Structure 1
Amino acid sequence: MKLNILKKVAIAIALSYIPVQAMAWGTNGHRISGQIAEDHLTLKARTAIKAILGNESIAMASNWADFIKSDSTYKYLYNWHFVDFERPLSYPEMLEILEHDTNPNAYNKLQFMIDELKKKTTGKQTRLLYLRMIIHIVEDIHQPLHTGHESDQGGNGIKVNWFSKPTNLHSIWDTELVNFQELSYTEYVSAIDHVTPAQIKTLQSTPISKWVFESSQLADQLYKGVKQGETLSYRYNFIYLETLNQQLLKGGIRLAGLLNQIFG
């Protein structure tokens, strides 16, 4: 009995040291966007990506950047998963910050890795790392609270309940809403990926800075729609399910466009 108690205490202490903004979309969310991206690749991009990932699909590779957080060697990648802001911003204000902020964040590191992957001189292992990170970060950006407010660490400081489970707003968008649909990632893709060629063209022609701005605007809406300590359940799912699905879909379609561009 005493051993079990000590184990629980040890686990609790260990978890308290995990960065609070540790995840973006949960495992299923990342795989949904990853599979959508894979379904919209050109043959040339698909071939080039397979040469880097081998038998690892984009859907599977999309969670690598979260899994390796358990390895302290990759601690330097932590800030690459998000870009937070002090307050709601207009697009020109945000663009000014994005273009001049030298601190590592999802936006500037994504731009850096895109440039590096386009170089033929980039080494094999570096290409593998950057491809996995690009896949993950593009998906991260489309989780609205990865472009949220610095003061609450992207919604982690907004403590709420999901039905009877204590959690936070960030985690609801990471995992709870996606998992609540009770679909496998392939079933989820079949349910939401019905875009037309015109819609694909529009989504893929939008610059990365606009991806960030769109998500940040959504984050601002999410902040207004919830109170500290509130219990969220069926109605919250009803209100935001379409938004959730659109973000998962956008992330996948835009990721495909970016990969097609890099490896085209």
Structure 2
Amino acid sequence: MKNIFKTLLLAAAFYLPVQCMAWGTQGHRITGQIAYSYLTPKAKAAIKAILGDESLALAGNWADFERSNPEYKFTEVWHYVNLDKGYTLPEIKAYLAQDTVTDAYTKLNFLIGELKKKTLGKNQKAFCLHMLIHLVEDIHQPMHTAHSFDKGGNDVHVTWFNNPTNLHTIWDSQLIDFQQMSFTEYAAEINHTTAAQRAEWQKAPISQWLYESNAICQDIYAYSKDGDKISGYTYNFKFIATVNQRLLQGGVRLAGVLNQLFS
């Protein structure tokens, strides 16, 4: 698995469509770093037995890096849930109850089920854990619950500090990169929670996570249209607290899922 990871990391450096990723490398690392801080000792030991010396922070990027590998191309549609309108919580629960397509919601449930199996082989366990980490993080990025008809905001073309980009990329990486911090600095800066807050976030089902992202997504679409020239400073002022909240919630909830699976 280590050799495969190194090969995919190298390939990812030359893989151009980074706008298809969620949170970008920094966002996934920040979320993973936060999650690790809330793992139980048993969960840490179990994860180390699967991942070896690979940290939880870096493991979150594996699922994006492997897209360069034809062996894992089938996972491309695992990273998002297409929600073409704003949903109330009851509506989204009803929608997901009927959801049978291959998407982040159905695959998260699948991966959790697989990792509960005592007979799961080592390589399959590593694959499932990498994907689980990544998808929990992905669906806390609001644009991964965005519209199918604009490819999750990839076809909403805007400028960021006068540079051409798209709405999805701004949320993947540009808002985070604008803070000019390493992932460890960023995680330390925002990782402040209470036990009550963590308990509330972790008891929420996956449908709630998606509902939250979908609601934020409507605000994003309402604020920026195709062709807009976005003022990076103004946009940062409006949305950076939301970005930080989603990174933090993703980390806390990832820890909750992993603790349940491995403790």
TM-score (norm. length: structure 1): 0.91
The one of 116, 140, 143 equivalent to 1:142 is: 140
* CA distance in 1 between partners of 2:235 and 2:179 (Å): 13
- Cα-Cα RMSD: 1.2
The one of 198, 202, 205 equivalent to 1:200 is: 198
Q: Which residue of 1 aligns with 2:51?
A: 53
Q: Which residue of 2 aligns with 1:152?
A: 150
1:102 aligns with 2:77: no
* CA distance in 1 between partners of 2:229 and 2:236 (Å): 12
Q: Which residue of 2 aligns with 1:22?
A: 20
* CA distance in 2 between partners of 1:164 and 1:185 (Å): 26
Query: Does the residue aligned with 1:89 lie in a helix, a strand or coil?
Result: coil
User: Structure 1 counterpart of 2:244, which letter?
Assistant: N
Q: Which residue of 1 aligns with 2:126?
A: 128
Contact 1:21 1:153 in 2 (8 A): no
* CA distance in 1 between partners of 2:145 and 2:85 (Å): 11
Query: Does the residue aligned with 2:158 lie in a helix, a strand or coil?
Result: strand
Q: Which residue of 2 aligns with 1:253?
A: 252
Instruction: String of CA shifts for 1:98-135, please: whole Å, max 9, x gaps.
Output: 12221110001000100110110111111000000000
* CA distance in 2 between partners of 1:241 and 1:77 (Å): 30
Q: CA deviation at 1:137?
A: 0.4
User: Structure 1 counterpart of 2:223, which letter?
Assistant: G
Query: Does the residue aligned with 2:20 lie in a helix, a strand or coil?
Result: coil
Give 4+ residue runs of structure 1 displaced > 4 Å after superposition: none
Look at both structures and tell me which one has the larger radius of gyration over its CA atoms: 1
Q: CA deviation at 1:152?
A: 1.0
Instruction: String of CA shifts for 1:164-189, please: whole Å, max 9, x gaps.
Output: 21000000000100000000000001
User: Structure 1 counterpart of 2:199, which letter?
Assistant: K
Query: Does the residue aligned with 1:157 lie in a helix, a strand or coil?
Result: coil
Q: Which residue of 2 aligns with 1:77?
A: 75
Q: What percent of counterpart residues are identical?
A: 53
Instruction: String of CA shifts for 1:120-170, please: whole Å, max 9, x gaps.
Output: 011111100000000000000000000111111111111100102100000
Q: CA deviation at 1:21?
A: 5.8
User: Structure 1 counterpart of 2:177, which letter?
Assistant: N
| Paired residue total | 248
Aligned pairs (5 A) from 1:153-192: 153-192=151-190
Instruction: String of CA shifts for 1:64-107, please: whole Å, max 9, x gaps.
Output: 00001111111110111000112222222222221222111000
* CA distance in 1 between partners of 2:97 and 2:254 (Å): 21
1:234 aligns with 2:233: yes
* CA distance in 2 between partners of 1:231 and 1:34 (Å): 33
Structure 1 unaligned blocks of 5 or more: 1-13
User: Structure 2 counterpart of 1:209, which letter?
Assistant: S
The one of 111, 114, 129 equivalent to 1:113 is: 111
* CA distance in 1 between partners of 2:50 and 2:220 (Å): 38
Contact 1:21 1:154 in 2 (8 A): no
Query: Does the residue aligned with 1:79 lie in a helix, a strand or coil?
Result: helix
* CA distance in 1 between partners of 2:119 and 2:218 (Å): 41
Q: Which residue of 2 aligns with 1:62?
A: 60
Query: Does the residue aligned with 1:150 lie in a helix, a strand or coil?
Result: coil
TM-score (norm. length: structure 2): 0.92
- Bigger drift between 214-223 and 92-101 goes to 92-101
* CA distance in 1 between partners of 2:46 and 2:210 (Å): 27
User: Structure 2 counterpart of 1:160, which letter?
Assistant: V
1:91 aligns with 2:89: yes
